[in-house]
A and B are shown apart, each in its own frame.
Chain A
Amino acid sequence: MTWTKTHLVGIEDLTKEELETIFRVTAAFKGILGRSVKKVPALRGKTVVNLFLEPSTRTRVAFEVAAKRLSADVVTITGSASSVIKGETLRDTALNIQALNADILVIRHTAAGSPAYLSRLTRIPVINAGDGAHEHPTQALLDCFTMREHLGDLKGKKVTILGDILFSRVARSNIWALTKMGADVTVAGPSTLVPETFARFGVTVSHDLRSALADADVVMLLRIQHERQSSTHFPSLGEYTSMFGLNKTRASWLKPEAIIMHPGPINRGVEIDSELADSGRSVILQQVTNGIAARMAVLYLCSGGSPEVLGENEDG
């Protein structure tokens, strides 16, 4: 197990071995979270700044909790409270955060490529917490970690991602991660949100729900993002639900032991039937919990933590 990366900009940049390293460290931290004292001193004396220039609840809180479990000091800056709305450029904001002695910068931004841009400007590690429709690497890490808990090795497993693929950074990061892990990925949804060009990423593109869901081990639903797309991509939410929403009948096409995933926030009755979201096949809340351990792993590794040391502690 080795780790040499400083930044986590995207899953695209990681090797399969690096993914395995993150999963192992995630498992170790998950073990710690199960203890009565849920805190380790790994990042004591370090400051993690969460710069969230786009609304977020789950990811922001998960990063805050993860940093606190590692004993870091945490400062969260949200879009409305930042100087960006006073006209400061992202470059200047980031350099000021660095000058304030931050040790790690976690960035969420509506503009794709912003973390890559910042990683070239700053000396401190930059962690991508979601950039536009580009990548959401920690989401894919927690998703794959959750899948492995249920399915073991992902090689040859059929994972269907259903919904708004075009605007989804979650889909992109999962496509990179899952194809590196050897899974068979299908992306499904209306043709306007799932362009054929996605086939060039080594996935199957489908607009036929039956074949997309047939014998799938995992179905991952994506929210229809009202705020990101113009209204021209499909006629109405009602039509979307009737054509592509996951209901009990359609869920019966999956493998019997298949799991249902969703990065949240879910829109009950739109992309997923409410009962299914609460059913035993749904691992949606496990994903959220695993999100803490996965982000602890990323903060730990990118700030120079040794995967071996942690592994030994865990064994002991």
Chain B
Amino acid sequence: MDKRAIWIRNGRVIDPASGRDQVGDVFVAGGTIRDRLTPAQKKDVHEIDASGLVVCPGLVDIHVHLREPGQTHKETIGTGSRAAAAGGFTTIVCMPNTAPPADNAGTIQYILDTIRRDAVVNVFPTGCITEKMEGQNLAPIGSLKRAGVVAITDDGLCVQDNEIMRRAVEYADMFGLLVMDHCQDAALTRNAVMNEGYWSLHLGLKGWPGAAEDVIVSRNVILSTLTGARIHCQHISSANAVDIIRRAKQRGVSITAEACPPHLALTDAELKTYDTHFKMNPPLRTEEDRRALIEGIKDGTLDCVATDHAPHTDYEKDQEFDYAPFGIIGLETALAVTLEALYHSGELPLTDTLDLLTRKPANIVRLEKGTLAKGADADITVFNPDETWEVDPTRFFSKSANSPWNYRSLKGRVRTTIVGGRIVYHNGEIPDDG
């Protein structure tokens, strides 16, 4: 491990948390951010020339599937955390839909042990809301909290029973534990594989109305109002859902929400060749929905960007559209896609765009991350916002390559990722992997 101090020189330093945006230097020693280096530290310092590059807090992603334990043919904590490093993410929150599901303290302990051994970035686990994510009986939420989860969620299996959901948020709030909800009404989406609309009719695929999301988002607004507990709505994709959250926030309801890069960048028209790399949950929706998400980001209705990085092998995705699993990987493309959708498109300044990937997601799960303030953990990302690169599916650090951006060109490329004062990614390499 490189214990030397680090001197990042001449970069455009952007720290949304403090409002800093100026060309300057960032100093790292002993794993934390310093405002200067001592002469002794300067003697043996790792210098990084960041001229023409942006230096920002390490990116934070609160919605990642690492597939370990149980589905390590798709991804592992080792490979997924390397994908994070390559994408500029220094902190990721992993979902509990593993095999077995993370619905007990023992599985959380196993995940934490594996993180300690294999991960190259900070990884924080979540636990399940209900046993086996079956939506029937509450999981041991207090024990999960004690074991170290930062939130609970049944992820892809949204709790349908409103009584269970009410008790879950009420009970978890006692521990200050956030409930994250994948907002999907099961009855409205039975057998559905894509957004309901012109393209589902055109392709003859079973449609999935935005209403299936809106109904559960509304439910969460109502339950948050009832209990006073905060609920975080994952990957919002529908224009109506944005509007429901906006109105709820205006009334002071404690609700937060995230958007995912594909929903900010793509629409259901991409499915016209039945390419399963565009099959995800929630589905890509219309241009109107996409615009509403961007407006929601701009006025603060949507709090952050998260990837929903969902690895699947090539042979799992290479099937009939109906049979291929939902989900795409996102860690290694998220920064560029988000920059394109929000910053390069002229919708948001760079600082605000980076806020969605740093301070804001960290705040949602109450992690002390996402800032370059003096004394903070030295989690830093250095990137070139204007570098164009072609996505090469053979070069992902992720174990899977199910990306809709394969062979496409993206603008914005990560140069260096630093976690706790250690360089974990630099110019296409993970240094510790030799």
Contacts and interface: CB of A to CB of B under 8 A. Distances in A.
Interface of A: 89-91, 109-114, 116-117, 131-135, 166, 169, 172, 195, 197-198, 200-201, 230
A135 B318 contact: no
A3 to B, nearest CB: 23
Given A91-B318, A111-B322, A112-B322, A117 B274 contact: yes
Contacts of B190: 230
B203 interface: yes
Contacts of B273: 116
28 contacts: A89-B315, A89-B318, A90-B320, A91-B318, A91-B319, A110-B322, A111-B320, A111-B322, A112-B203, A113-B203, A113-B204, A114-B320, A116-B273, A117-B320, A117-B321, A131-B204, A132-B205, A133-B206, A134-B203, A134-B205, A135-B204, A172-B202, A197-B198, A198-B201, A200-B201, A201-B201, A201-B202, A230-B190
A111 B201 CA distance: 14
Given A134-B203, A197-B197, A113 B321 contact: yes
A295 to B, nearest CB: 21
A112 B198 contact: no
B323 interface: yes
A89 B204 contact: no
A172 B197 contact: no
A132 B318 CA distance: 18
A177 to B, nearest CB: 15
Given A111-B322, A230-B190, A132 B204 contact: yes
B204 A169 contact: yes
A253 to B, nearest CB: 27
Contacts of A169: 204
Interface in B417-434: none
Contacts of B198: 197, 200
Contacts of A134: 203-205
Contact of A113 (B197, B205, B315, B318): B205
B201 A197 contact: yes
A111 B318 contact: no
A131 B205 CA distance: 10
Given A114-B320, A134-B204, 9 more contacts: A89-B315, A90-B319, A90-B320, A110-B322, A112-B203, A112-B274, A116-B274, A133-B205, A198-B201
**Size range of the chain B interface in the assembly:** 10 to 19
B271 to A, nearest CB: 9
B152 to A, nearest CB: 32
Interface in B307-331: 315, 318-323
B-side interface mostly = loop
B153 to A, nearest CB: 28
A74 B318 CA distance: 28
A109 B201 CA distance: 18
A111 B204 CA distance: 9
B61 to A, nearest CB: 31
B390 to A, nearest CB: 21
Contacts of B202: 172, 201
A30 B274 CA distance: 35
A107 to B, nearest CB: 11
A306 B199 CA distance: 35
Interface of B: 190, 197-198, 201-206, 273-274, 315, 318-323
Most buried by B among A113, A195, A197: A113
Contacts of A172: 202, 204
A176 to B, nearest CB: 10
Which 5 pairs of residues, A with B, have the shortest CB-CB distance? A134-B204, A113-B274, A133-B204, A111-B320, A112-B204
Nearest to A120: B273
Nearest to A131: B204
Contacts of B322: 110-112, 132
Contacts of B197: 197
A112 B279 CA distance: 14
A29 B145 CA distance: 74
A226 B274 CA distance: 26
A212 to B, nearest CB: 19
Contacts of B320: 90, 109, 111, 113-114, 117
A230 B274 CA distance: 24
A132 B321 CA distance: 11
Contacts of A111: 320-323
Contact of A195 (B201, B206, B318): B201
Contacts of A195: 201
Contacts of B319: 89-91
B13 to A, nearest CB: 47
A134 B273 CA distance: 12
Contacts of A113: 203-205, 274, 320-321
A141 to B, nearest CB: 18
A26 B205 CA distance: 31
A131 B323 CA distance: 14
B424 to A, nearest CB: 37
A103 B251 CA distance: 66
A89 B276 CA distance: 15
B314 to A, nearest CB: 11
A114 B204 CA distance: 11
Contacts of B318: 89, 91
Contacts of A90: 319-320
A265 to B, nearest CB: 20
Contacts of B323: 111
B249 to A, nearest CB: 32
Contacts of A135: 204
Nearest to A115: B274
A117 B203 CA distance: 13
Nearest to A230: B190
A113 B323 CA distance: 11
Contacts of B315: 89
A198 B202 CA distance: 9
A109 B198 CA distance: 22
B173 to A, nearest CB: 36
A195 B197 CA distance: 9
A169 B201 CA distance: 10
A169 to B, nearest CB: 6
A73 to B, nearest CB: 27
Nearest to A169: B204
Contact of B321 (A89, A91, A112): A112
B205 A112 contact: yes
B212 to A, nearest CB: 14
Contacts of B321: 111-113, 117
B407 to A, nearest CB: 15
